Structure 1
Amino acid sequence: MGLSSPIIREKLILILKGIAMGAANKVPGVSGGIVAFVGGFYEELIYSLQKINLKSLTILLKEGWSPFYYYINGKFLTLLFSGVIISYFSVSLILDYLIRYFETYVLAVFFGMVISSVYFLYYELKNWNFKKILFFSLGLIIGLIIMNSKPLTENEGIVFVFFCGLVSVCGMTLPGLSGSFLLLLLGNYTLLLVDSVNAIYFSISDIIRLDFDFISDPYRTKLLKLAAIFTLGSITGLIFFSNILSFVLRKYHQNTIATIIGFVGGSLGVIWPWRKKVYKNDELGEIVFNSIGKPEIAYYEYVLPNIKSTDFWLLSLFIILGVIFVSLLERYGIKKRG
């Protein structure tokens, strides 16, 4: 059975979708849920996750692993989250590099992806009415509030790190809500998605080389402990929010979509390519640096582009590329949804 087999091809595509979700989740302002939505597997993801509950636990204890695995749509979840994990140690590292050296262009691509997603989300709605406009406005206001919020300072407290995991996973379950951006607002983006992920990566590399010296490294072990707590919070949040969302989508599908459109629109400025960073300063007016030596951002100044500049047209090209990418994803999603 070669790669041309429909079954193997579907599995590979699902893993690739997971990789795309993982990469998107790591970019502040971009939601992995958007990838799920336009990729045509958002509702399957939510409904699969919400099956991880007391009933599934009872099935596991009474009937065994196979019925439990079947009940929660385990094959789908395993392949998808395998892609997410692969992404965190491969594509995400490349993305980190691109953001570090070509941030504006990366933002332009994601800006195009998000506005394209809003367009397709819009067409999910049927017959706008007062109630939908109300929910749209609510989402818009929440998005604007979050976009204009100022970040907190880094916090290594166990309870707070668990909370970070709990809320950051929203980006995977709710299109438009960026988990990475929430971590930025909470002040723990670098700690949990850069330092801790790198600690896991280097620890795995050390174990492969049969080098266990990292166990005696207090900084590394602290990061690994924080990563474990963050992961536990993420799993808890994933199950919790998926249960809420599955109920909301089932009962109030159109109003939920209207809220998501408003929220995405309100928070779109987070990835506006034409923005200027304003760095934090200490009492002496010196720039404050984080734990890995990068200057900490206080907030962004959003500016209008100069349409006469070469930069404007170049960034516009990257925005168009983002639009095309999501359009192709949506086209595939339509075919997949039948």
Structure 2
Amino acid sequence: MSEEAREVKPVKEGRQGGSVWQNRYWGIGARGLAMGAADVVPGVSGGTIAFITGIYQELLDSLSKIGPHSLVTLYKEGIAAAWQQINGNFLLALFGGVLVSIFSLAKLISFLLENYPILVWGFFFGLILASTVPIARRVANWRWPSWVALIAGGALAILVSEMRPTEIAATPYTLFFSGALAISAMILPGISGSFILLMIGIYPQVIAAVHQLQISALIWFAAGAGCGLLLFSRLLSWLMHRFPSVTLSFLVGVLLGSLKIVWPWKLADSAAGALINAKLAPALANVSPWEFAEASGQPSYFMGSALAAMAAVVLVLSIEWLNNRFVGKDLQR
């Protein structure tokens, strides 16, 4: 088997490996909590969290197994066989954590963004920057196709960052297609589904539906998200297995380009001194910390933001080390 083919390996279900493996679903649920918290923030992708915590490939492979063939297995072999085929325990633990996080942490994330925006964006800047390290390490062949993919990924993220908010009505059709588009972005490291919702003008309606439990709107949005998730995850899983180096290089580029979106110091395009709600930070113009302080009359919090970014870098690299040291070793037994 070639080095390229060995590069990306899905995690196999099993009972071996001791207590770490047997209790892994608590850890999967915790990662789901982190993914949900990230997805609430316009500018940070839950896919980034999945990648740096070592479950991205398993997530794609598990989702790609859901389809007509799993229905055939359900019919011929029963619920247990179909559940095992789609890695149901993993998906249940992960998306259970995501849903709990979205419904419980949405207000907390909004509070932090409104009261400590620069520190929060500094943390996410460091988080995304450090996330490029574990992904780049998995690129086996840095040849010209990988470099082209890297540039293309960066260009895509920058192009998305140049979008400006619009506004559309929250109808069943717009909610369905918004859900499909947002979920596709959410599982792509570096591009936030919440940011896409913000740019197309339906983010406030979706957040309001979550807070107010507008069941009809949530059902339409969830239906679109489900369809988009199943289709896009199949494409990504296929790419990761067939062209791992090029796909991973593209994801590194997307992450690097998305740093423009989460740059902590921003001012409104129309009036340099007018600050806009921190939730809209990705839509504003990037400025230096000193220009921000001069134009806004507020402290730049440069040191605090730098410390938050450094803490995020340490966190990501520590997670990668722990994952390789303990979880990875466990799975190889």
**Which bin holds the TM-score, normalised by the shorter protein?**
0.7 to 0.9
Q: 2: CA distance between counterparts of 1:328 and 1:295?
A: 29
Cα displacement (A) at 1:303: 0.4
Q: Distance in 1 between matches of 2:170 and 2:268?
A: 25
Corresponding position of 2:14: none
1:322 deviation in Å? 1.3
1:153/1:188 contact within 8 Å kept: yes
Cα distance in 2 for partners of 1:150, 1:18 equals: 30
Matches within 5 A, 1:174-323: 174-192=188-206, 194-200=207-213, 223-278=214-269, 299-306=283-290, 311-323=301-313
Contact preservation (8 Å) 1:39, 1:332? no
Look up the SS of the partner of 1:243 in the other structure: helix
The answer to whether residue 308 in structure 2 is matched with residue 324 in structure 1 is: no
Where do 1:35-114 residues align within 5 Å? Answer: 35-114=49-128
| Residues 295, 38 of structure 1: alpha-carbon distance in 2 compared, 3 angstrom cutoff | closer
Q: Give a deviation string over 1:269-294, Cα, whole Å, max 9, x none.
A: 111001124579xxxxxx999xxxx9
Structure 1 residue 333 displacement after superposition? 2.4
Note the C-alpha offset of 1:323.
Answer: 1.0
Gaps of 5+ in 1: 201-222, 281-286
Secondary structure at 1:271's aligned position in 2?
coil
CA distance in 1, matches of 2:281, 2:170: 19
CA distance in structure 1 between the aligned counterparts of 2:282 and 2:141, rounded to whole angstroms: 42
Take 1:116 and 1:249, find their aligned partners in 2: how far apart are those partners? 21
1:152 to 141, 156, 166: 166
Provide closer, same or farther for how the CA distance between residues 115 and 6 of structure 1 changes in structure 2, counting only shifts above 3 A: closer
Distance across 1 between alignment mates of 2:287 and 2:259: 14
Change (3 A) 1:61 1:199: farther
Deviations 1:202-229 (A, max 9, x none): xxxxxxxxxxxxxxxxxxxxx3211110
Equivalents in 1 of 2:190, 2:279: separation in Å?
A: 27
Tell whether the 8 Å contact from 1:279 to 1:297 is kept in structure 2 after alignment: no
Q: Assess if the C-alpha contact under 8 Å between 2:266 and 2:287 holds in 1.
A: yes
**CA-CA distance at 1:249 after TM superposition:** 0.5
Cα deviation, residue 50, structure 1: 0.4
Specify whether residues 59 and 165 from structure 1 end up closer, same or farther in structure 2 by C-alpha distance, changes over 3 A only: same
2:155 alignment partner, one of 120, 136, 141:
141
Aligned residues: 302
8 A contact 2:126–2:313 mirrored in 1: yes
CA contact (8 A) 1:249 1:256 kept: yes
Work out the CA distance in 2 between the residues paired with 1:296 and 1:122.
Answer: 30
**Could you tell me how far apart the structure 2 residues matched to 1:133 and 1:152 are?**
34
Give the whole-Å Cα distance in 2 for the aligned partners of 1:38 and 1:179: 18
Task: Let me know the Cα RMSD of the aligned residues.
Answer: 2.6
Identity of aligned residues (%): 30
How far 1:196 sits from its partner (Å)? Answer: 0.8
Residue 44 of structure 2: SS of its match in structure 1?
coil
Could you say if the C-alpha distance between residues 253 and 296 of structure 1 is closer, same or farther in structure 2, counting changes exceeding 3 Å? closer
Query: Counterpart of 1:259 in structure 2: which amino acid?
Result: F
Q: After TM superposition, give the deviation of residue 60 of structure 1 in Å.
A: 1.6
Partner Cα separation in structure 1 for residue 143 and residue 175 of structure 2: 41
Q: Choose 302-311 or 227-236, whichever is displaced more.
A: 302-311
Q: Is 1:279–1:299's contact at 8 Å kept on the other side of the alignment? A: no
Counterpart-to-counterpart distance in 1, 2:270 and 2:72: 52
Q: Aligned to 2:284, what secondary structure does the other structure show?
A: strand
TM-score with structure 2 setting the length: 0.84
